[in-house]
Structure 1
C-alpha cells in the first residue's frame, strides 16, 4: 500500500480518534484563549497517554525527551485533578494552563534550560503575562532557575508533590 493515495473522510478520522481516546491511548487537550477567556472547542492538541508510544517509531535512537516530559506532566496534572488546557496568546504557546479550586497555573516543560538559548525560549513564553497567574517551569535541571516572576520546579519534585 506504500505510495498509494488513500482518501479518508473527516468523520472517519474523528471516529478513530474517539476510539483511541476511549482506549486511553491518546488524550486531547483543548486550547485556552485568554482573549476569549475560554476554552476553544475546535482546537485540540493530542498527547500520548503512555510516553513509550512517543518512542516506538523513532529511528536512530533519537528520542524527544521534552515531548515525553510534557506527556508525563500532563498525565500527573490530570491525576491531581486539574482541568488542563494548552494556553495560547498572541501566537505564543505555553504548554499547559492548569486550573483547580479557582487557582490557575501556567506551566512550561523542558528537559533543560541550562543553555542560554533554551532558557530564553522557555522563559520568554511568559512574557507579557501579568503576575496574577502563577508561572511555573518544570525541568530536569538540578540548579534552581526561579526568577521573581517564574517558579522553577525539578521534575522529580513535581512528581512527588500532592499539589502545585
Structure 2
C-alpha cells in the first residue's frame, strides 16, 4: 500500500496485489462540492483502466465518471468478509480520517 502522485495531485492509497492495482481516495464526508472536486479530481489525467474508488462516511452515492464512491463502513465490513480482496486496515483508515480532521 503506497501513496502516489498524479501530477500535482495526491492519490491517498494505491493497492497492488498479484499484478492488479486499485486506487483509493479517503475522506470523512463529501457534502461540500469542493471536497468532491478534490477527491474525484485526484484521478484526473490518470489514463489506466484500474478501478478507482472514493471512500467516505456518506450514505449517498456520489459515483461519477467511472469512479466508484463507497460508504466506508460498508466497504470495511465487506472487505472483512472477502479474504481475497484488496484490503486497507481499519487502523489505516482511522489514521487517514484523523489526518483530515486535524487539517480542519
Q: Normalising by structure 2, what TM-score?
A: 0.71
**Structure 1 partner of 2:21:** 104
CA drift at 1:114: 1.7
Native 8 Å contact 1:140 1:154 kept in 2: yes
1:144 aligned counterpart, secondary structure: coil
Q: Which 4+ residue blocks in structure 1 deviate beyond 6 angstroms?
A: none
* RMSD over aligned Cα atoms: 1.3
CA drift at 1:91: 2.4
What does residue range 8-157 of structure 1 map to in structure 2 within 5 Å? 84-157=1-74
**C-alpha distance in 2 between matches for 1:90 and 1:148:** 19
Choose 1 or 2 for highest CA Rg. Answer: 1
How many residue pairs match? The answer is 81
**C-alpha distance in 2 between matches for 1:92 and 1:145:** 20
Task: List alignment gaps of at least 5 residues for structure 2.
Answer: 87-104
Native 8 Å contact 1:94 1:107 kept in 2: yes
Task: List alignment gaps of at least 5 residues for structure 1.
Answer: 1-83
Native 8 Å contact 2:6 2:46 kept in 1: no
Q: Normalising by structure 1, what TM-score?
A: 0.47
The C-alpha deviation readout for 1:6-50, integer Å capped at 9, x for no partner, is xxxxxxxxxxxxxxxxxxxxxxxxxxxxxxxxxxxxxxxxxxxxx
**C-alpha distance in 1 between matches for 2:49 and 2:27:** 23
CA drift at 1:131: 4.3
